[in-house]
Amino acid sequence: PGAHSRAPPSPGPAHSRPRASRPGTRHRLKKYGYQLHTGHQHCYHRLFHLSASFLNLKKKIEWSSRVVSTCHSLVVGVVGLYIFWFDEATIADPLWGDPSFVKVNIAVSSSYLISDLFILILYWKVIGDKYYIIHHCTALYAYYFILSEGVLAYIGNFRLLAELSTPFVNQRWFFEALSYPRVSKAYVINGVLMTAVFFVMRIASIPPLYAYIYSVLGTEAYRRLGALIQCSWISSCVVLDVMNVMWMVKISKGCIKVISLFRQEKARRSLQNGKLD
């Protein structure tokens, strides 16, 4: 360059150069972060605190109780199925087989029953039910011998499989609390599944259980149990099965009624559309 040309200004230190500012970037990040946070809170509220928005106090308490009941039944039911199929020790000897794995499942169930008993008593005027009290106390009495004496592990786990019907029973209550129409497909499908699973897990299992009891009467393994455990085993099963039969009758009547209403509603809609079959 010539002498008269002006040299470009030399750049200063890096920190002295003006940095291109992006006004609003930090604000937008904060905004997106806030939206993500509030969105997460909203989903959490909808999923886990749905009852707080529109249910009365009685239904809020029962809603929470049934959510815990469903979680308990799924956990012990799935673990119980695994034990029923794959726990070789208890399968080989249902009366005296190693109860280590079963004890864990029974302990979880016992903890739930104790906590639910406490809730039932605490809110007796709201959700109290004498049949639940009888059911819980009978089950806890039977589980005591499994946990303390280590006997009848396979039988205790077999009884726990009945809990697999509980999610459908609770779901029916959830539908009613949410004011689902009884002729809706979701309500009807759940009702049919509830009836079928309840029958398989709580009623169809009765004959095999008592057939097994009859088959071991008088054996050495049975005599080793002692009179107290023998009587407790049979009496607790009888009490629980009587209640299961009572509930099965009630559930069956309800299922038949719902299916009848569903068919009537379907026929009515067909008439309205001019498509009567």
Place of tokens 């509603």: 265
CA distances from 21 to 17, 18, 24, 257 (A): 12, 9, 9, 70
Question: Other C-beta atoms within 10 Å of 266: how many?
Answer: 12
CA distance 50 to 32: 25
What pLDDT shows up at residue 277? 52
What pLDDT shows up at residue 24? 53
Q: What are phi and psi of 74, to 5 degrees?
A: -70, -40
**Residue 269's Cα: distance from chain center in Å?**
35
What pLDDT shows up at residue 167? 97
Nearest CA-CA partner of 183 in 245, 265, 119, 114: 265
What pLDDT shows up at residue 50? 52
Q: Hey, what amino acid is at 12?
A: G
- Residue 49: DSSP 8-state: S
Question: Running along the chain, 277 residues long, what does each successive block of 10 average in pLDDT?
Answer: 44 44 46 42 46 73 93 96 94 92 95 96 91 96 95 95 96 92 91 96 97 95 96 97 97 93 81 63
